[in-house]
Structure 1
Amino acid sequence: MHVVLVADHAAINGGQAKVAIESALGLAARGIRVSLFAAVGPVDPRLEPAGIRVVCLEQDDVTTARSKLAFAAQAIWNGAARRALARELAACDPRDTLVHVHAFAKALSPSIGPAIRASGLPCLYTMHEFFLVCPTGGFYAYPEQRICHRTPMSAACIAAHCDARSYPRKVARMVRHAGLAHVARLPDLFAHVVTISDLQESVVRPLMPPGTVFHRVDNPIAVVQAPLREGAPGDFLFVGRISTEKGAPIFADAAKRAGVRAVFVGDGPQRADLAARHPEAVMLGWRDAAGVQALMRQARALVFPSVWYEGQPLTVYEALACGAPVIVSDACAGREAVIDGETGFWFRSGDPEALAAHLRRLTDDGLAARMGRAAHDRYWTAPLSLDAHLDRLEGVYETVMRGATARRRGLSPVDRPLATA
């Protein structure tokens, strides 16, 4: 099998790229031929020594673009990416090649669609976010600070100022989404879609064409199993972007009400304001992965108060793996990892008093320790390892390839015998 991975970035700059690149390395280590097609460099130095062909266009993303107008045009329709991807796929053997798209919205644009369709190669898409169905990618209205339930591209959606920055940027994103839906026809192209949480699938299924096949593949979590730390539990911990949609102000307010110390790891637009309004809170800034996990192993609990859907918040799983119970908003996908009352608590989204009630409960050292042990034990019975991710991913690839082979031979995929081990 030859897998062509398509992503905006050729190096890890966030969760999407991390999953794409780590899976590329894992697949190559299993003897699968892998190529990576990306718009933005630099290239992760591990890829080419692992035998992975890398095509990187060395284009800009929004963080590096010198001309915002030129980048807006690229984000709406990246003609150079379409032509380069078409050339790359034209050289692939349709009998053994599959195209797996991880990301397009940060640089590649929907223009990849015509290139993939023209190649005739089987393809699938991992929905790390919601750009395939929502023009702003998050089903979140930033000025209203709440989940958006408007139908994408409806009159209500078009009129709504929901973008994090400005309505003109929303207009540009709607133009891109019109090209995505009606020119590139990406929802029709991706008959197979990988989702990373049950909530995500429930949100997108009604918006995708009938017959779309959904596959659940959890993202891998990079945590080393270690014994639980002895001693009294530490502080309540927040890890991530310190912003409104992540619920950071709700945590700070709830901690003050409960009389506990809030510890924030990360940075973001709300950091300075929260530090000024809550001098009792501790702002640690960013930490590397090892530093974050060390803090999680000492924490009384991770607090994950996100007020939007999320995809599959890896921070929640990392905390459970480290033996920290999790207090999570009931509106986000993170709730799927937490057994309410056993490995943590759910609280009513957006309600600081409901969160404060659980913070007070977990000031009981014995309860916090019991929940931490339960979280640790339950996670490690079925860890979200890279191997588990790759096993599931290879199964999906085989399903997609089997269907493509059957169509080439004029058979229904159900008429094809299943591969045997």
Structure 2
Amino acid sequence: MSETGSGINIVIAVDHASVTGGQAKVALDSAIGLKRAGHRPIVFAAAAPVDPRLATAGVEVVCLDQTDLLGAASKAQAAVQGIWNFRAEQELGRLLDGLPRENTIVHVHGWAKALSASIARPLRRSGLPAVYTLHEYFMFCPNGGFYNYPRNHVCTLEPMSAACWASNCDSRNYTRKVWRCLRQSVMERVARLPEVFDDFILISRFQERVAAGRLPSGARVHAVSNPIDCLDLGRKTEPATGDFLFVGRLSPEKGLFLYAEAARRAGVAPVFAGDGPAAAELRARYPEARLLGWKSAGEVKLLMRRARALVFPSLWFEGQPLTVLEAKAMATPIIVSDGCAGREEVEDGVSGLWFRSADAESLAEALIKAKDDALVAAMSNACYDQFWADPPTLARHVERLGAVYSEVLSRKPATQAVEPERRLPAP
């Protein structure tokens, strides 16, 4: 029994206590949904501020009021915190020590941007069952994405091999890549973070191929889709109007230059909703592009509803792009790269179109095909019908999480041995 009734105590560990991206959004939304379902979620986060929705929903929060690595006061501070966040280790241990053993589970959504691999030590010491959701790939790859950012292509090197160490694949510089490899060594050999988890949640079938052979021996894998918050607006009355729309961070790995080039070849005006480091270069190289800047969640959904199609040209291994699902909920067809998990939500030629990953000519052909009003209307209706036949709502997400938690808890032995730890010196 939890302290608040028959629900489960769930410690939700995540880098940020506010929505800074898809990972944090899923973690915090799930906390709110779990609370509504009668469980006792406790958000444990390093970086402030705290999302006010959590207090409104009655969700307990332990926030360390730290910054993430990018917001640290100095590079030295970020380097130390990123490798081993001593305060996170201490406070998580204190939190877990105060929770009942028989009905508590820890669900980790992220550690690489603020918490660090130091969370492994209190998790192991507590003996509590722990689950990890693969929102990205920092558990396997030093830069988290199996992606070479300077060269803009998927990386096929074996992580942490000599070739990996030598590769300048970081989005900023090689010094940062070396630091990331050092952090990965500490995560794997000192913290042994992957070994803490007997259960992993994958958010798409695509991730099975990426994670194959990399999870700990004997690990159990569960499929739980991310939740989507959308209103059922019905089928579109005029589906073949509007723009070809890109939604997301304006950074090269998202494929924005590929889209702009393909749009130029197809004779259509590319529209971008979002902001990021590549905005100025995009504007300079493709003056015909319309850059709408950052938009609120409500504005984005309205843009999607009005769009002729969403273009999702991502070059890296997206785990489960939320924008693809959101567009589908809005009855908007999706033109998607066949090299990312977004393709799972798109039936080629039925609810959208696939194109060859990183191939501007293939994307241009898809854009030209999507000029066909009748085809767009048919794909729009298919999007609506497919999504709303089994919508991945927050309630359904929570229901599936609850089933995973119950299964994990049912396997937990009455007592659990605590393995010896490999120590890091105190700061």
Give the shorter-chain TM-score range.
Answer: over 0.9
Residue aligning to 2:422: none
How far off is 1:406 after superposition? 6.6
- Distance in 1 between residues matched to 2:151 and 2:52, nearest whole Å: 42
1:81 aligns with 2:73: no
The answer (yes or no) to whether the contact 1:233–1:369 under 8 Å persists in 2 is no
Q: Which residue is 1:42 aligned to?
A: 49
Alignment match, 2:157: 150
Question: By how many angstroms is 1:408 displaced?
Answer: 5.8
Alpha-carbon contact 1:95-1:405 (below 8 Å) kept: no
Per the alignment, residue 266 of structure 2 pairs with 258
Q: Name the counterpart of 2:143.
A: 136
SS of corresponding position for 1:58 = strand
SS of the aligned residue for 2:405 comes to helix
| 2:174 paired residue among 158, 167, 172 | 167
Which of residues 182, 186, 190 is equivalent to 2:189?
Answer: 182
The residue type paired with residue 297 of structure 1 is R
Q: Secondary structure at the match of 2:206?
A: helix
Alignment correspondent of 2:357: 349
Cα separation, 2, equivalents of 1:144 and 1:23 = 36
- CA displacement 1:235-285 (0-9 Å, x = unmatched): 111111122111000110111101111111111222212212222111111
Shift of residue 234 of structure 1?
A: 1.2
- The reply on whether 1:298 has 2:306 as its aligned counterpart is yes
The structural deviation recorded for 1:226 is 0.2
5+ residue gaps, structure 2? 1-7, 418-427
Asked if structure 1 preserves the Cα contact closer than 8 Å seen for 2:127 and 2:416, the reply is no
Query: Could you report, residue by residue, the CA deviation over 1:31-59 in whole angstroms, capped at 9, with x for unpaired residues?
Result: 11121111111112232343322111111
Give, in angstroms, the shift of residue 72 of structure 1.
1.1
Give secondary structure in 1 for the equivalent of 2:212.
Answer: helix
Which range moved further: 62-71 or 170-179? 62-71
Q: What's the CA shift for 1:151? A: 1.2
Return the offset for 1:135: 1.0
Distance, in Å, in 2 between the alignment partners of 1:53 and 1:4 is 10
Equivalenced residues, count = 409
TM-score, with length taken from structure 1: 0.95
Match of 2:215 in 1: 208
- 8 Å CA contact retained: 1:233, 1:368: no
1:194-248 CA deviation, whole Å, 9 max, x = no partner?
A: 1111111221131122211111110001111102332342111111112211100
Q: Look up the equivalent residue of 1:404 and give its one-letter code.
A: K
Decide which moves more: 35-44 or 302-311. 35-44
CA distance in 2, matches of 1:56, 1:187: 24
What per-residue deviation string (whole Å, max 9, x for no partner) do you get for residues 53-99 of structure 1? 21111111133211111111101101111011111111111111111
Amino acid at match of 1:46: R
Query: Higher mean Cα deviation, 223-232 or 90-99?
Result: 223-232
The residue number in structure 2 matching 1:321 is: 329
Contact 2:225–2:397 under 8 Å retained in 1: yes
- Which residue type is aligned with residue 258 of structure 1? A
Q: Residue 13 of structure 1: which of 10, 20, 40 is its match?
A: 20
* TM-aligned CA distance change 1:346 to 1:406, over 3 Å: farther
The residue that corresponds to 2:408 in the other structure is 400
8 A contact 2:70–2:78 mirrored in 1:
no
What is the CA distance between 1:23 and its match in structure 2? 0.7
Change in Cα spacing, 1:17 to 1:278, as seen in structure 2 (3 Å) is same
The aligned residue for residue 289 of structure 2 is: 281
1 CA distance for matches of 2:173 and 2:416? 47
Deviations along 1:358-386, one digit per CA (max 9) or x if unpaired, are 11111111111111111111111111100
2:424 paired residue number: none
- Partner in structure 2 of residue 366 of structure 1: 374
1:382 alignment partner AA: D
Unpaired segments ≥5 residues, structure 1: 410-421
User: Identity percentage over the alignment?
Assistant: 52
Which residue of 167, 177, 195 corresponds with 2:202? 195
Report if aligned partners of 2:69, 2:81 keep a CA contact under 8 Å in 1: no
Q: Shift of residue 127 of structure 1?
A: 1.0
Q: Could you tell me whether the CA contact under 8 Å between 2:246 and 2:312 is conserved in 1?
A: yes
Aligned partner (choices 233, 244, 247) of residue 236 of structure 1? 244
In the alignment, is the contact (CA less than 8 A) between 2:108 and 2:131 conserved in 1?
Answer: yes
- TM-score w.r.t. the length of structure 2 is 0.93
CA RMSD, aligned part only?
A: 1.4
In the alignment, which of 74, 77, 97 is matched to residue 70 of structure 1? 77
Greater Cα offset, 116-125 or 232-241: 232-241
Task: Report if aligned partners of 1:243, 1:249 keep a CA contact under 8 Å in 2.
Answer: no
Seen in structure 2, the aligned counterparts of structure 1 residues 299 and 51 have a Cα distance that, compared at 3 Å, is closer
Question: Is the 8 Å Cα contact of residues 132 and 200 (structure 2) preserved in structure 1?
Answer: yes
Which amino acid in structure 2 is aligned with residue 128 of structure 1? H
The question of whether the paired residues in 1 share the 8 Å contact of 2:236 and 2:380 is answered with no
Give me the whole-angstrom Cα distance separating, in 2, the residues matched to 1:278 and 1:4: 46
